[in-house]
Amino acid sequence: MKRSTFSVALMILMVTNLLTSAQTRKPNIVVILTDDMGFGDIGVFGGNFVPTPHIDQLAKNGLKLGQYYSGAPICSPSRASLMTGMYPGRWNFSTYLDNKKHNRDAEQADFLNPEAPSIARIFKASGYATGHFGKWHMGGGRDVKNAPGFEKYGFDKHVSTYESPDPDPLITATNWIWSEKDSIKRWDRTKYFVDQTLAFMKGHKGQPCFVNLWPDDVHTPWVPKKDDGYIGNFPVGQEDEAAFKLVLKELDVQIGRLISGLKEMGELENTIIVFISDNGPLPSFRGSRTGGLRGSKLSLYEGGTRMPFIISWPGKVPAGKIDDQSEVNAVDLLPSLVKLAEVKLPAGYPGDGIDRSGVLMGKPSFRKKAMFWEYGRNEVAFKYPKTQDRSPNLAVRSGEWKLLMNSDGTDVQLYNIIKDKNETTNITSVNEKVTNQLKSQLNNWWKSLPRLTSK
């Protein structure tokens, strides 16, 4: 063979091998879990507080779901549902974690059992580098000193906040969630977590990465940069809409930095980005942050559990796709992302979610399995919204029907959630058969959950 012919053949072989390698390489996965973001906060979901061009562009480059549900209307259990792919009540999570007395009074655990399934551990077992950057709130902080470390859940690296087993001293100068003494100021936290995410992925170039990017924003207290023109008090009050707008604007800027950083690394095309929120907003500004949906954080009405959802995977997930038909639950993300990455679930994995990877790839379908929620097992350690936004403490969604009731069987409410997504008309009296079926199904599910008898 002539030297020139050999060289051409060698080049063809190298290109073929590179293409084959690119096609078989597993995708990075970045799960962005915002804190207390309402269904109607960002522009692409109808929000008009401030422009959110970078998040909106993420949706234009991918898929937007209109019926995505968190696992709970409050942070700790909603995060546990994402981590495990199981209803949080199965691990005795039903409200936010606090000190040991609060947890005991609330009849819940002090931390997520390290024997629980973990999405990070599953990806790590398949060769992924795993990182958690941001809020944790599944154990640790206050007087809970025995919470397992991040490595017990399968994370190689972590940078986290006060409510974790290993707070980063740069953002926890005092024994509290936020302080003016913190080296990384509150308004720079999301930037810090984005920086940590990009540095982690650069450090693992050539190895697929699974990353939780879980910022504090847009949870109160809203503390904008002082040079942004804000003249309010620090930390600002609960109802300060001007401060909220500045914090939301900065969050969008940092999402833009994440996308740009991935592009500069040459990783954007091979990265699945999921953008969601842990639960509904508080305050909701008279329902404007929920897009008019009833309820808010702390409520099992739609405003507390129906969340914005965006998934981007350039060249794989159809760009500009809007799916308002398919129901997807937080517990579905673990089996769905595992399927998209062609990673194996552990033998005997006991998840509550179902594989919705087809939906995430742009093929709408109805969810054929009911979804359940619990918020609160007693009246001791739980806070609820007032008046009409205070919901019963249990709920089930099955197809077009959503039923809510208290665990003692009182305050039964039935809604056709397709025709009445704002839950304005209780139709139990004219749908007795459906009501009784769902009451029985919900009651049986609730009774199947474990109970803590002692601490």
Note the pLDDT tens digit of each residue in 263-321. 999 999 999 999 999 999 999 999 999 999 999 999 999 999 999 999 999 999 999 99
Cα–Cα distance, 295 to 390 (Å, whole number): 7
The rounded distance, in Å, linking the Cα atoms of 361 and 319 is 10
Provide the pairing of β-strand 328-329 with 321-323: unpaired
Compute the average pLDDT of residues 313-336.
98
pTM (predicted TM-score): 0.93
Give me the chain's average pLDDT, please.
Answer: 92
Determine the pLDDT at residue 178. Answer: 86
Six token digits for residue 232: 């309010």
* Cis peptide preceding 283, ω within 30 of 0: yes
CB 281 within 8 A of CB 297: yes
Give the position of tokens 């954080």: 297
Q: Reply yes or no on whether the pLDDT at 440 is more than 80.
A: yes
What pLDDT is recorded for position 386? Answer: 75
Helix (H) or strand (E) holding 370: none
- The torsion angles phi and psi of 163, rounded to 5 degrees, stand at -85, 65
Q: Give the type of residue at 187.
A: W
The runs of H, that is alpha helices, within 133-240 are 189-203
455 has pLDDT over 90: no
- Alpha-carbon 31 to chain mean position: 7
Which percentage of the chain shows pLDDT scores above 70?
Answer: 91
Q: Average pLDDT of 138-147?
A: 96
User: What crossing angle do the helices spanning 75-84 and 333-340 adopt, rounded to 10°?
Assistant: 40
- Answer yes or no: are the C-beta atoms of 301 and 279 closer than 8 Å: no
> Would you call 342 exposed, middle or buried from its count of C-beta atoms within 10 A (0-12, 13-18, 19+)?
exposed
With 0-12 / 13-18 / 19 or more C-beta atoms within 10 angstroms meaning exposed / middle / buried, residue 173 is middle
**Per residue in 336-361, pLDDT tens?**
999 999 999 999 999 999 999 999 99
- CA 111 to chain CA centroid, nearest Å: 18
Q: Considering only CA atoms, which of 433, 408, 327, 407 is closest in space to residue 370?
A: 327
Residue 202 has pLDDT above 50, yes or no: yes
